[in-house]
Structure 1
Amino acid sequence: MKFSENWLRQHVPTAASRDELAATLTAIGLEVEDVTALGASLDGVVVARIVSAEKHPEADRLQVCRVDTGSGEPVQIVCGAPNARVGLLAPLATVGATLPGGLAIKPAKLRGVESQGMLCSAKELGVDADASGLLELPADAPVGTSIAQYLGLPDATIEIKLTPNRADCFSVRGIAFDVAAATGVEVAPLAIEPVRAQSQATLEIRLGAGADAPRYCGRVIEQVDAAAPTPAWMAERLRRSGIRPLSLIVDVTQYVMLELGQPMHAFDRDTLAGPVGVRHARAGETLKLLDGRDAALAEDFLVVTDADRPVALAAVMGGFDTRVTDPTRSVFLESAHFAPAAIIGRGRKLGLHTDAAHRFERGVDPQLPRIAIEYATRLILDAAGGVPGPVVEAALAEHLAPPQAIGLRRARLARVLGLEVADGEVERILRALGLSVEATTEGWSVTPPSRRFDLAIEEDLIEEIARVHGYDKVPTTLPGGAATLVAPSEARVDDATLRRQLVARDFLETINYAFVDASLLEQWGSTDGAVRLANPLSAELGVMRTMLLPGLVAALARNTARQQARVRLFELGRVFTAAGAGGAPRETRRIAAVATGPVAAEQWGVSARPVGFHDLKGDLETLAAASGAVLQYRPAQPSWAHPGRAAEVVRLQTDGTQSVLGWIAQLHPRLQQALGLDHDVVAFELDLEPLAVRALPRSGAVSKFPSVRRDLAFVVAQDVPWSAIEATVRSAAGLSLRELVLFDRYQGKGVETGFKSLAMGLILQEEARTLTDRDVEAVVAETLAALQREHGALIRS
C-alpha cells in the first residue's frame, strides 16, 4: 500500500515528524518499506505561462520562450522540452532557486541566447520519475503561485507492507485509525453529506449471486463532462500513491478506493439498457475486458450484467464495450460488496492482478458502498458538473450479518501479555481503533466495526492492545517451569521406532508433497474422494493425495532414472479424502514403502536376484513385530497391482476380531510402463494407527513341561490360501497350540494337477501338565477333521 504523507495527516492530525511517523507505523505492525521525500526544496519555483515560443536561431531542438511569472514583464527562457508551447502552464525555477537535486539556477546563455531561469519537468522537481517533458499544469493554475503551495509540497510517498489479515489498511483512512491509536490523537471526522437527487434517472438492480454479492449500489449522473481535467490535487495524490491519472471519472473511482478502501466502477450509461444485475457466469460466456482481451468465463466467476449480458467481471475489471470515454455524457456509478471467497483467485485465472481484486480478496467493509458512492458523486459534480439521480441499493440482509460483540477479560489480558495495562489505556486504544467498548464486571464487551474482519476472538483484541501499547513495553521474563510433561504411551509404538525399523532394513525415508497431479491419481485408479484445491500452487499440484504410493513411486522413478539400480524408500505421511456435505477432508496417517532392483546390495557372497513380493513381506513382518502385530494376507486386486501378486493386509486382534490395514503388491505392468519403470516394483501401504497399537506387556509363567511337535503333510486345492488354513488350524487346535510352522510347499510329481502339498509343524504345550500321546492325537485328529471339513484337505500318504 502506497500513499501520500500529507493525505494521511489530513485524516489524522498527528504532530509526529516524518521519521517518527514511519517508526510508529512499523512498530504497530504496518511495516514501512520505503519513504520517498517529494518537493523538499522548491523555494523560487512558481507557476508560469508560456506566452510565446520561437525556434532558437542556433539549435533545432531548442525554443526561446517568453514566460509570464505573474510579477510584471515576462522573462526569457531557453527550453528544450518537446511539449513547450504557447499557453502551457508549467513550473518555472527562477534565478536564485535551488532544485531538489542540488541544481542552483543562475542566469545563463544557451547557444548565445540569454535564459533567466528553467522550465521544469516532474523529475526535476522531485515529485515524479517522468522526465519526458515539462510538468503540465491545469489551465486554472494561478500564475505566480508557489508551486509547492499549489501542489501541496513538500510531501512524501510512504509504502507499507501489509499482512493479509489487515484488509482495513488498504485505505488511507484505515491506516489513520491505527496511527491515531498509536500517537494519542483522534481521527478527523469523515464528513460526507448525501448528494440530493436532481433527476429521476435510475437503473433497476437485481442480485442473483446470493451470499457472494449481498449488496450493490448504483447511481446515474447525467450531463457529465467526462473530458474535464482531473483536479491537480487529486492527480498528485494518485501519482504519489503509485497510480497514473487517466481521466476524471476513472480517477475519481481510484481516489475513493485509496481514501476509503471501497473499489468502484463507472459505466457509460448510454451503453446500458438495464436492469443491472450480478450473477455467476454461465459456461461458454465470454467478455471483452477494459484491456482489450477476450476472457473466457468459468462458472465460478461473478459478472455484472446489463439485461443479462455480462458487462464487467465483478470485483476484477470492467468491460470494454461499456467503458467511460471522453464523449460520455451520462455515467452509471457502481459501488458493491462482494464476498472474499467469491473473488479469491479469479483474477489470477485470467492472468490479472488489479487493485480492486486485491482488496475484495481480503475483505472490504460491507457498509461502505453507499458512503463511497455519495463521496464519488460529490467529487464528480465538483469537477465535471452533472445532474445526479437517486442512489439505488439492492441488499440481501440475511447475508450481511452485523459484527458480534467480543468479550475481553481483564485477567486474561494481563496473563497473556505478562503486564497490567490500565483500564483507561485499554479503552482509549480500542476506541481510537474505531471499536465500540462497553465496560463489564470482568473487563469489556467490544464490538468491532464492520471493516475489521480480522477481529473475531478475545486473543485478537489482546493483540491489538499489545501492538498499539507497544511490544517494547512487554517485560522480558523467564518461563515459570510449569510445563506439563506427557509420557509416551506404552500402548503405541512411536513413529521414531517404526522409522528406525525400516532404516535398519535398508530403506531411506522420503518426504513428498501432499499435493499431486490429478492425472497421476487417475493412472493409479485412486481418484475416489480426491479433494481438489480451490487455489493450487500449480496445475501439477491440484489435488490432495489419496495415497502415499504415487508420490513414493515417482521418487523411486527419479532415482532409477539417475542410474540408481537398487532403490528402497519409505514415507510416513497423511492422505486426504473428501468428507462430503461440505465437511473438512478426512486425514489418515499411513506408512508406505517401495523397493526395486536387487534384493541385497552388490556383494560377492550372495548371488544377485531381484527383490520380490515375499522379500517386502518379510520387511513388513519385521515392522509389525515392533508392535507385536499378527498379520494375515488375503488375495486382493487393487487397480494398481499385478494380478495374482497382491494381498490385503489384515491384523488379527487379541479379541479375535480383524482390521484391514492396507495392501502389499507388485505394481501392475501397465502402470510400471506408464510411469517409465523398467524393472519390477513391489510396494505396501498401510494405515499407521492400527498398525502401531501395541498390547501392554504382561508377565506370565514359563511352562516347565515339555512341548510336543507333530508334523502333518496334506494335499489341498491350489486356490486355498495359507491364511485360511492357518486360521482353521489355530481354531481347531485350541489353547494347547503354541506355535504353527509351515515348512514345505510342493507341486509336481505325485500331486494331482490343481492341488498342492503343504507340510506344517504343530508345537503343542500345556502350562500345568505334560501332554500325553492321547492328548496330542486328539488335537491332531481334530485339526485334520477341521481341515477336511472346511477345505477338503487330505492327508498325504
Structure 2
Amino acid sequence: MKFSENWLRSHVPTQASRDELAAMLTAIGLEVEEVVALGDELANVVVARIVDCVRHPEADRLQICQVDAGQGQSLQIVCGAPNARAGLVAPLALVGANVGGIAIKAAKLRGVESNGMLCSAKELGIDADASGLLELPDDAPIGAPVADYLGLPDASIEIKLTPNRADCFGVRGIAYDVAAACASAVVAFDATPMPALTDSTLAVELDAGAKVPRFAGRVIEGVNASVATPVWMAERLRRSGVRPISFLVDVTQYVMLELGQPMHAFDRDLLEGPIVVRHARDGETTKLLDGRMVSLSEDFLVVSDSSQGGPGGRAVALGGIMGGFDTRVTDATRNVFLEAAHWIPSAIIGRGRKLGLHTDAGHRFERGVDPQLPVQAIEVATRLIVELAGGSPGPVIEAVLPEHLPKPVAIELRRARIARVLGIEIADADIERILRALGMQVVATADGWNVTAPSRRFDIAIEEDLIEELARIHGYDRIPTTLPGGATRIAAPSEGQIDAATVRRQLAARDYLETVNYAFVESALLQLWGADEGAVPLANPLSAELGVMRTRLLPGLVSALQRNVARQAGRVRLFELGNVFASKDQGLGAGDRANAPEETLRLAATACGEAHAEQWGEPSRKVDFHDLKGDLDSLAAAAGAVLEYRPSQLPFAHPGRSADIYRGGQRIGWIGQLHPRLARALDLDGDVFAFEADLGPLLARAVPRAAELSRFPSVRRDLAFVVADDVPWAAIAATVRAAAGPLLRDLLLFDRYVGQGVESGQKSLAIGLILQDNSRTLTDRDVETVVSEAVAAIGREHGARIRG
C-alpha cells in the first residue's frame, strides 16, 4: 500500500516528523518499505506562464521564452524542453533557487541571457518524468509558490501489509493505527448523505447469495465528465502509485485509496435495468476494461444488465475484479451509475490469477473489505462528482441480504489475562484509550472490558487478538524479555538416523552452499524436466509462476545455480534439504503410495565449473560424475551404508553419465549429468552434475554394536579380467560379493584399462579380494575356493575371462 504522507496527516493530526512517523508505522506492524521525499526544497519556484516563444538563433533545440511569473514584467528564459510553447503554465525556478542540487543563476546560453529555469517534474523531485516541462492547469495562480499549489513538501510512503490487515488498504484505516500509536484522534470524516435531486434509479437483484450480501448504486445525471481532475486529487493519486486517467475514473480510485472500498463507474446510458449480480455461465465471455476478452466459468461472479435476453443477460463487469469495456465511462458520458459492493474473500480469491489479472480491487476483496463501506463510498464519490463536475444525483439503491452479513460480537477482555499473556500490567486508562483510538466500542466490566471491534477489523475475533493490539500499540519494546518458566522435555536423538545438521555440516565442509527455494514452482519448469507427473496444483497460487508444488528439488536448485552462473560465478556448488510433494509415486522412494498428496524429505546437490577452487597445488580440471559420487558416498558412509549405482533412463539425465541410486535393493534417488538438451534450455553452457535422493533411506543406520576384531590375518588375492565395456562395475561387484560369501571382508577396484592388448569394446578390470575369518587362519585351499567361485560367477553372469 502506497500513500501520500500529507494525505495521511489530513486524517490524523500528529507532530511526529517524517522519520518518526515511518519508524512508528514499522513499530506497530505496518512495515515501511520505502519513503520517497517529494519537493523538499522548492523555495523560489513559482507558477509561471509562457507568454511567447521564439527559436534560439544559434541552437535549433533551444527556444527563447518570455515568461510571466507574476512580477509585473516578463522574464526571459532560454528553454530546451520539447513541449515549451506559448500559453503553457509550468513551474519556474527563479534566480536564487536551488533545484535538484543546482543553484539557479542568471546566465547566457549561446549568447542569450536567461534569468531562471523552467522545470520538469523530475527536476522538482516530484516524479521520474523528465520528457518535458511539468504542465500545470491553465487556472493555476501565476506567481504562487509551486510548493503551496501542489501541496508540497510531501512524501510517498509504501508499507508492506500482512494478509490480516486488509483494513489498512485505505488511508483512513492507517490513520486509526497512527492515532492509537501517537495518542491522537482520527479527524471526523464527512460522509453526509447527498440529497436526491431526481427519481432516476436502477433496480438491483442479488442472485449470488452469501457471496455478495450487499450492493449499493446510484445514478447521477448531467455530469460533465470531461472536466480535468483537480490538481490536489491527481497529486494524491500519483503519490499513491496511481496514474490519473480521467475525472470519473480518478474519483473512484481516490475513494478506494481513502476508504479502502473499491468502486466502479458505469455509463448509465449503456445499461438496461435491472442490474443482476449472479454467477457467470460456463463459457460466458465478456470484454474487460483493458480490452481483453475473457471466457468465464461458473465460479466467477459478474454484474449483468438486461440488454441481452432479459434480466442478467449480459455481463457488464467481472465481480470484484474489473469493470467491462462496453459500459465504461468516457469524456462523453453524461449520466453515471456508481457501484460499490461487498464481495466476500472466498468468492474472489484466485479468480483474477486464473485470467492472469492482478487488480487493486481484487487485491482488496481477496483480503476482505468492510461490509459497511459501500453506501458510505457512494456518498463520498457522489459529493466529489457533484461539487467538481456538476450533476443531479438520484437516490442510493441498496440491495442487502442481512442474514449473510457479519454481526458484531462483543469480546470479553480480562485484565488478568492481559497480564498473564504479556507479562506486564497496562494501566486501565491506557487500555481504553488504545482500543477506542482503534475505533472499538469499549464497555467496562468488573474483570475488564467487553470490546466490540469495528466491522473493518476482520482479524479481531478472540481475546488474544485484542491483547495483540494492546502489545502492538503499547510497544513491543516496552515488554521485557524474560525466559519462559516451567519444565522442558528434551528428546534424545535417534541412533538409527543421521540428523540433518550432520548432513549440512558435511556438505558445507565439502565446499557446498545451502540454498532455500520455494516449495512451489512453475508448471512449465517441471514439464521441461519431465517431472510434472503427479504435480499438486495450488488452489490459490501467489502467481502464475508459482502454480504447483515441486515434485523434485533439482528444478529449483539448478535454477539457483543458473542464476549464479549468469552472474559470472564460474564455480558453483549448491545443496538443499526440503520436502517434495506428489499425488502418486514418483519413483524415487519405495513401495506403493496412496494417490493423496504426500510429502517426502529429500536431499539434492548440484555442481558445475572447476572441481577445486583456484590453487597451485593440483592441475585444473572440471567437476565430474565421480566428484559428486564421492560426496554422496561420504554421506552414506556416515550411516554405514554402501550405495549401488545402476544406469538411469530419466528424461532429464545424460544417457551415458547418470545412474539411479540404490540402497539395499531400494531405489532412493538419482545422480549424474544433466541432459545437454535440458542444459541448453536452461541456458547453461558447461556440464552440470547433480544428485537427489530420499533423505530417510539414505541416512538410516543400524544401531552400533560392539564386535570383536579378528585375531587372524587377512589374505589378499588380486584378479585381472576382461569384460564387455558396457557391463557396469556395480553389477560385477554384486556378483563377486554373492559368490565369495562370508569370508569376503572387502572388495577393491584398483585399475581399469582399455587399449593395446584389449579388444575393442572390452575393458580390463583389476580387483582385490580381502578375505578373513574370525575363528581361524585361512588355508590356501580356502582362498582358492573363494577365488574360483568368484571367477566362475563373473564368467557365467557377465561373460568375463581372466586376462592373460
Question: Considering the TM-score relative to the shorter chain, is it more than 0.5?
Answer: yes
Instruction: Count matched residues.
Output: 570
Query: Which one is further off, 540-549 or 300-309?
Result: 540-549
- Post-superposition offset of 1:298: 2.0
Aligned match of 1:255: 254
**Does the Cα contact within 8 Å between 2:71 and 2:143 map onto a contact in 1?**
yes
Map of 1:453 onto structure 2: 458
TM superposition shift of 1:366 = 0.5
Does the Cα contact within 8 Å between 1:599 and 1:608 map onto a contact in 2? no
Q: Which residue of 2 aligns with 1:356?
A: 361
Aligned AA (2:97): A
How far apart are 1:381 and its partner, in Å? 1.3
Task: For residue 93 of structure 1, report the CA deviation from its aligned partner.
Answer: 1.1
> How far off its partner does 1:452 sit?
0.4
> In structure 2, how many angstroms separate the alpha carbons of the residues matched to 1:137 and 1:321?
32
1:453 shift after superposition: 0.7
* Matching residue of 1:119: 118
1:401 to partner: Cα distance: 2.0
In structure 2, what is the equivalent of residue 299 of structure 1? 298
Change beyond 3 A, Cα 1:473–1:273: same
State the distance in 2 between where 1:254 and 1:125 align.
25
Q: CA shift at 1:15, angstroms? A: 0.6
Is the alpha carbon distance of 1:274 and 1:131 closer, same or farther for their aligned partners in structure 2, counting shifts above 3 Å?
Answer: same
8 Å CA contact 1:52–1:86 kept in 2: the answer is yes
Letter in 1 for 2:261: Q
Per-residue displacement from partner, 1:267-304 (whole Å, max 9, x unpaired)? 11111112112111111111111111111112211111
Match of 1:404 in 2: 409
RMSD: 3.6
Aligned to 1:471: 476
Say which SS state the counterpart of residue 552 (structure 1) adopts. coil
Give the C-alpha shift of residue 3 in structure 1.
0.8
- 1:45 and 1:379 map into 2 onto residues whose CA distance is 30
More displaced, 559-568 or 107-116?
Answer: 559-568
Alpha-carbon spacing, 1:383–1:312, altered in 2? closer, same or farther (3 Å): same
1:377 aligns with one of 382, 393, 397: 382
Alignment-mate amino acid for residue 253 of structure 2:
Q
> What secondary structure is seen at the aligned counterpart in 2 of 1:259?
helix
Structure 1 pair 75–394 and aligned structure 2 pair: CA distance change class (3 A): same
C-alpha spacing 1:605/1:170, structure 2 compared with 1 (3 Å): closer
Structure 1: how far apart are the matches of 2:731 and 2:292?
61
Match of 1:534 in 2: 539
Q: Distance in 1 between matches of 2:433 and 2:245?
A: 42
Residue identity matched to 1:483: A
What are the superposed Cα offsets for residues 13-49 of structure 1, whole Å, 9 maximum, x if unpaired? 0011111111111111111111111111111111111
* 1:249-272, Cα deviation, whole Å (9 max, x unpaired): 111111111111011111111111
CA distances 1:47-90 after superposition (whole Å, capped 9, x unpaired): 11122222222222222222112221122222222222222211
Shift of 1:398: 1.0
Aligned partners of 2:191, 2:274: CA distance in 1, in Å? 28
2:53 maps to 53
Amino acid at match of 1:50: I
Q: Quick check: 2:520–2:550 contact (8 Å CA) kept in 1?
A: no
Alpha carbons of structure 1 residues 557 and 21: separation in structure 2 relative to 1, 3 Å: farther
In 2, the alpha carbon distance for the partners of 1:333 and 1:357 equals 18
2:179 corresponds to which residue?
A: 180
Match of 2:298, as an amino acid? E
Q: 1:414 to 1:603 in 2, by over 3 A?
A: farther
1:691-770 aligned at under 5 Å gives the runs none
Which whole-Å deviations, capped at 9, do the CAs of 1:448-487 have from their partners, x for residues lacking one? 101001111111111111111011111122222x135498
In the other structure, the counterpart of 1:269 is 268
Partner of 2:131: 132
- SS of the residue 1:140 aligns to: coil
2:658 is matched with 563
Change (3 A) 1:496 1:248: farther
Alpha-carbon distance between aligned partners in 2 of 1:187 and 1:76, rounded to the nearest angstrom? 48
Distance 2:451 2:31 in 1: 26
Could you tell me how far 1:415 is from its partner in structure 2?
A: 1.0
CA contact (8 A) 2:350 2:541 kept: no
Contact map agreement 2:413 2:466 (CA 8 A) in 1: yes
Residue equivalent to 1:696: none
2:391 pairs with one of 376, 386, 392: 386
Q: What is the CA–CA distance in structure 1 between the aligned matches of 2:301 and 2:323, rounded to whole Å?
A: 12
- 1:194-233 mapped onto 2 (5 Å cutoff): 194-233=193-232
Distance 2:661 2:260 in 1: 60
1:417 aligns with 2:422: yes
- Mapped to 2, the partners of 1:363 and 1:599 lie a distance apart of 62
**Quick one: structure 1 residues 460 and 53, their matched pair in 2 at CA, closer, same or farther if it must change by over 3 Å?**
same
CA–CA distance in structure 1, aligned partners of residues 469 and 440 of structure 2: 11
Instruction: Provide TM-score, normalisation by structure 2.
Output: 0.66
Tell me the distance in 2 between the aligned counterparts of 1:381 and 1:514.
49
Match of 2:91 in 1: 91
Q: Does 1:312 align with 2:317?
A: yes
Instruction: Provide the rounded CA distance (Å) in 2 between the counterparts of 1:540 and 1:471.
Output: 38
- Paired position in structure 1 for 2:434: 429
Alpha-carbon spacing, 1:107–1:343, altered in 2? closer, same or farther (3 Å): same
Flag the 1:286–1:379 CA change in 2: closer, same or farther, 3 A: same
After alignment, is 54-63 or 286-295 more displaced?
A: 54-63
Aligned-partner Cα distance in 2 for 1:52–1:108: 20
Note the C-alpha offset of 1:409.
Answer: 1.5
- Cα deviation, residue 566, structure 1: 4.5
| Per-residue deviation, 1:201 | 1.2
The yes-or-no answer on 1:66 pairing with 2:66 is: yes
SS at match of 1:428: helix
Q: Which has the larger radius of gyration?
A: 1
Equivalent residues of 2:520, 2:547 under 8 A apart: no
**Who is 2:19 aligned against?**
19
Contact persistence 2:537–2:547 (CA under 8 A): no
In structure 1, distance between residues paired with 2:41 and 2:696: 70
Does the CA-based 8 Å contact 2:440-2:454 persist in structure 1? yes
Letter in 1 for 2:244: P
CA contact (8 A) 1:226 1:326 kept: yes
1:770 aligned partner? none
Whole-Å separation in 2 of the counterparts to 1:542 and 1:334: 42
User: Which of 462, 473, 487 lines up with 1:483 in the alignment?
Assistant: 487
**Structure 2: tracts of 5 or more residues without a match:** 307-311, 500-516, 552-580, 591-599, 603-647, 669-694, 699-726, 739-804
State the alpha-carbon separation in 2 of the partners of residues 474 and 9 from structure 1. 29
Give, in angstroms, the shift of residue 408 of structure 1: 1.4
What residue is the counterpart of 1:552 in the other structure?
589
**Gap change, CA 1:533 and 1:421, over 3 Å in 2:** same
In the TM superposition, residue 564 of structure 1 has moved relative to its aligned partner by 2.2
Q: Does 1:82 align with 2:86?
A: no
Give the Cα–Cα distance (whole angstroms) in 1 for the partners of residues 274 and 295 of structure 2: 23
Percent same amino acid among aligned pairs? Answer: 65
Structure 1, gaps ≥5 residues long: 489-493, 501-510, 572-590, 610-797
* CA contact 1:347–1:353 (8 Å) conserved in 2: yes
8 Å contact kept, 1:512–1:552: no
The CA distance in 1 between the partners of 2:440 and 2:268, in whole Å, is 39
Name the SS of the counterpart of 2:60 in structure 1: coil
Does the 8 Å contact 1:267/1:323 carry over to 2?
yes
- What do residues 597-649 of structure 1 show as CA deviations (whole Å, max 9, x unaligned)? x999656574589xxxxxxxxxxxxxxxxxxxxxxxxxxxxxxxxxxxxxxxx
How big is the shift at 1:323? 1.1
Identify if the C-alpha distance between structure 1 residues 223 and 178 changes in structure 2 by more than 3 Å, giving closer, same or farther.
same
- In 1, distance between residues paired with 2:427 and 2:440? 18
Is the CA contact (8 Å cut-off) linking 2:49 and 2:90 kept in structure 1? yes
Q: Find the aligned partners of 2:389 and 2:15 in 1 and give their Cα distance.
A: 36
Q: How far off its partner does 1:593 sit?
A: 8.0
Q: Displacement, 1:435?
A: 1.0
CA contact (8 A) 1:566 1:601 kept: no
